[in-house]
Amino acid sequence: MRKVKILYLLDTLIEMAGSERNLLDIVTNLNRERFEPLVICMRGENMVERLRERNIEVIDIKLRKIYSPAALLRAVEIFRIIRRRGISIVVTYHESSDYLGGVVARLAGVPVIISSRRDMGYMLKRRHIIMYRIVDRLFDRILTVSDAVKRTVAQREHVLWHKLVRIYNGVDAAKFTVTNGRDRLRSELGLEPNRPVIGMLAALRRVKGHRYFLEAAAQVLRQYPGAYFLIVGWVVGHDYYLELIEQTKRLGLEHNVIFTGGRQDTPEILALFDIAVFASLNEGFSNAVLESMAAGKPVVATRSGGTAEAIVDGESGILVEPADAPGLATAIIGLLEDRARARRLGINARVRVREMFDIGRMVREVEGLYDSLLVEKAGGMPSPIGFDTLKRIVARTIKQAMSAFIYYLGMARVLRRVLSEKNGVAILAYHRVADTPFVISGMSIRIANFEQQIRYIARHYKPLSLQEAVGMIERREKIPKNAIVITFDDGYLDNYVNAFPILRQYRVPATIFLSARAIEEKKLLWFDILIESFRLTRLRAVFFEVYGLGTFSLISARSRLSAAQKVVSYAKRFSLRARSDFVRYVLDRLEVKEEDIETTGMMMSWEDVRTMHREGITFGSHGMNHVILTRLSNKELRREIGDAKELIRKRTGVDTKLFAYPNGEAKDFNREVEHELHRHDYVTACTLIKGLNDSTSDRLALRRFCVTEGMESNAFGRFSRSLFAVMLSGLLGS
């Protein structure tokens, strides 16, 4: 099997800081049977040899500034290495590597480009941020070390949320169970026995907050005058080191504070600590915190950046606010006074590291990211551009041009204002949010496009929950200007995995209508079974003689998808029994066995539903079997509506009063259906009839815009703000 060649580009390989540690851990633990790493650094010293000792190829290009003539020569050199070596993935660390590497890798045609962000960007200046906003477009993903870093990058650089992937640092916990050598180290450092040792493990940088550690030490010594305070870390700024020495003298701490300098024996040093302290003012996600936890030490740390994600306050450590020396001192004294609690925190910390921050887990997640991006880049449905495809491109281009003309002249804004005077609320209906090529038209929106829609909605509309909108309609209140409601039908897993984080990021409420049986039995909906059967068949053509559907060509992915769409549309009007017979017939004709179709992993679970509900997402019913209700007998209708409501209540505790009609056209519901909804205490039901809703709307026939590609994307499949806005205004048909 051909190995995937990965180039890691970073600014420096001088000291063992956070980025360098992460790089070392990844390249030395990758599956070398599948991946072949190459490291290029702009400036290298000791760390270069450490990597080479581990059989990692390292090239030092000796570049000090990327804004120089030398940088152009080095860029050409990197370009040639990429092309000559056949690099498939480029991963960049630090600003200079991000700027230079992103551009060179894109020019060289590298399939996958990833930027790795390890801190909160506290040193970035305005010009750096502007530059990042430009080059971020070059990256396929931006890998962050914590959710705190993820949020900061999204807000600061205006990066789409789905493009950011968080993978926590990991440590090998087994390395930090050292128990021997303590006496030797105590003697080496001049530490008298039976005196508590409080240590801080961090490079000597201002952002690490050593001054607050020293201030806290002065307060602790008033109650524990025999305590030692170890400051372990490489001297990065000599002036800062001299300031700390001066502060130590000023506070009278010379006999209790020891600066050890940088150490290579971290596990042995940690074995000396009774308490580990981290006083950072700004932290991405500290390896040293994880190492201290892995060593079973009670940790006192500031609630800065990703540290609050590593430590559960009061369970696996103690968190205080940044720049709070009294808070640090109080926490340290509390642990010195209550040794049992200190031991309990240390044990819990070790367990948490093994469960959440194991190095093996980190590497598996990194490899999974690489694999998924390579598959994504190789995906799609290539096919010759035939007449139908060309016609679709031309039609969409014309519609895009018309919408742009309307939008940028301001006509859409004027119309939206006129419509809002009529108290109209737009309800959007989505189904899937996934980068899945084999899906019928109108059923899926690309993740990037969905996020841009939600971001646009959050900025230019007034997002309401469905309950809020229905309450206003019921009370005949004036609907806010530009009011909009987000809904989803069916309950696909990608609603939870892809859509939910985006909705949460932009604080947009939503309602999901669940197809209850599919979630309960963890099976595909009937139409997804048909679609999958067309995707899996090995036939090049199929003839459906019994149902009179004729012959379908299956020679390409696009022709199979077109056939699936026609067959699904034909089967919508069947009764439950007839539809079941039809599905079996299609599978038989396509020579696909139902057991060959992967049924798990498409629909969300009840636990997913409960998690989203706790986060504010509301849920309604889409029936038990996703069947058109007017095709059912009275008995079947009662079970279809009532059983779904009861199952949702049983699994989630939610007595839903919201319903969405399967298929949702005017002929898909009638008085009998509405009467049954009333009997089961539903207060509203949504259709897929296009239009706005106002105070005169029937609450059991609310209109929705079904969001399809033709409503939101241009001929190249990218989100079109002008098209989306004009479609919602009603100036163009979908």
For residue 181, pLDDT beyond 70: no
Check residue 730 and give its pLDDT.
55
Check residue 431 and give its pLDDT.
94
The C-alpha atoms of residue 79 and residue 92 are separated, in whole angstroms, by 14
Q: Which token pair is 27? A: 């390249």
Pairing mode of beta strands 89-93, 4-13: parallel
Burial of 250: CB neighbours in 10 Å, binned 0-12, 13-18, 19+: exposed
pLDDT digits (tens, 9 = 90+) for 684-722: 999 999 988 988 899 999 999 998 877 777 766 778 777
- Average pLDDT over every residue of 151-159: 92
Q: Which token pair is 542? A: 């199929």
Half-sphere exposure of 525 (CA within 13 A, CB side): 26
Check residue 402 and give its pLDDT.
63
The C-alpha atoms of residue 582 and residue 593 are separated, in whole angstroms, by 14
Residue 640 and residue 625 in contact, taking contact as beta carbons nearer than 8 Å: yes
Q: What value does the CA radius of gyration of the chain take, rounded to a whole number of Å? A: 30
Q: How confident is the model at residue 16 (pLDDT cuts 50, 70, 90)?
A: confident
CATH H-level superfamily of 387-521+604-729: Glycoside hydrolase/deacetylase (3.20.20.370)
For residue 41, pLDDT beyond 50: yes
Check residue 259 and give its pLDDT.
94
Check residue 122 and give its pLDDT.
82
Burial of 257: CB neighbours in 10 Å, binned 0-12, 13-18, 19+: buried
Q: Which amino acid is at 459?
A: R
More confident residue, 412 or 374: 374
Phi, psi torsion values for 328, nearest 5 degrees: -60, -45
Check residue 372 and give its pLDDT.
86
For residue 298, pLDDT beyond 70: yes
Check residue 64 and give its pLDDT.
81
The C-alpha atoms of residue 569 and residue 362 are separated, in whole angstroms, by 45
How many beta carbons lie within 10 A of that of residue 677, not counting itself? Answer: 23
Degrees to nearest 5, angle at CA 648 with 501 and 674: 110
Q: How confident is the model at residue 510 (pLDDT cuts 50, 70, 90)?
A: very high
pTM greater than the 0.85 cutoff: no
CB neighbour list of residue 122: distance below 8 Å, 6 or more residues apart: 207, 281, 282
- Residue 148's Cα: distance from chain center in Å? 12
pLDDT digits (tens, 9 = 90+) for 563-596: 999 999 898 888 888 888 999 999 999 999 888 8
Check residue 733 and give its pLDDT.
45
- Average pLDDT over every residue of 496-510: 95
* Ramachandran class of 621: left when φ > 0, alpha when ψ lies in -120 to 50, beta otherwise: beta
Check residue 441 and give its pLDDT.
67
pLDDT digits (tens, 9 = 90+) for 17-34: 778 888 889 999 999 999
More confident residue, 404 or 264: 264
pLDDT digits (tens, 9 = 90+) for 360-396: 999 999 999 999 899 877 754 444 445 555 555 566 6
- Average pLDDT over every residue of 182-198: 86
Nearest to 480 by CA among 731, 687, 695, 690: 695
More confident residue, 122 or 669: 669
232 beta partners: 201, 261
Nearest to 506 by CA among 469, 457, 447, 445: 457
Check residue 327 and give its pLDDT.
96
- Calculate what percentage of the chain has a pLDDT beyond 90: 62
Weakest mean pLDDT among 57-61, 272-276, 393-397, 496-500: 393-397
Check residue 393 and give its pLDDT.
57
CB neighbour list of residue 244: distance below 8 Å, 6 or more residues apart: 204, 210, 211, 214, 231, 259
Residue 311 and residue 147 in contact, taking contact as beta carbons nearer than 8 Å: no
How many beta carbons lie within 10 A of that of residue 293, not counting itself? Answer: 32
Check residue 548 and give its pLDDT.
79
Q: At what angle do helices 557-571 and 526-536 cross, to 10 degrees?
A: 150
pLDDT digits (tens, 9 = 90+) for 460-476: 899 999 999 999 999 98
The C-alpha atoms of residue 549 and residue 554 are separated, in whole angstroms, by 14
C-alpha distance from residue 349 to each of 145, 346, 701 (Å): 19, 5, 54
Check residue 420 and give its pLDDT.
44
Residue 317 and residue 307 in contact, taking contact as beta carbons nearer than 8 Å: no
Output the DSSP codes for 267-279.
HHHHHH-SEEEE-
Common-topology check for domains 4-170+362-377 and 387-521+604-729 = no
Q: Which token pair is 343? A: 């031991």
Q: How confident is the model at residue 184 (pLDDT cuts 50, 70, 90)?
A: confident
Phi, psi torsion values for 657, nearest 5 degrees: -120, 15
For residue 423, pLDDT beyond 70: no
Q: How confident is the model at residue 325 (pLDDT cuts 50, 70, 90)?
A: very high
429 beta partners: 487, 706
Q: Which token pair is 540? A: 């090049």
Contacts 24+ apart (CB under 8 A), 79-84: 79/104, 79/107, 79/108, 81/7, 81/38, 81/40, 82/7, 82/108, 82/110, 83/108, 83/109
The C-alpha atoms of residue 358 and residue 348 are separated, in whole angstroms, by 15
686 beta partners: 660, 702
* Average pLDDT score over the chain: 88
State the DSSP code for 498.
I
For residue 178, pLDDT beyond 90: no
Domain edges within the chain? 4-170+362-377, 174-357, 387-521+604-729, 526-596
CATH topology of domain 174-357: Rossmann fold (3.40.50)
Q: Which token pair is 340? A: 């049992």
Residue 513 and residue 491 in contact, taking contact as beta carbons nearer than 8 Å: yes
Check residue 672 and give its pLDDT.
94
Check residue 703 and give its pLDDT.
95
Weakest mean pLDDT among 6-20, 194-208, 272-286, 692-706: 6-20
The C-alpha atoms of residue 668 and residue 628 are separated, in whole angstroms, by 6
Query: 4-170+362-377, which class in CATH?
Result: alpha beta
pLDDT digits (tens, 9 = 90+) for 335-364: 999 999 999 999 999 999 999 999 999 999
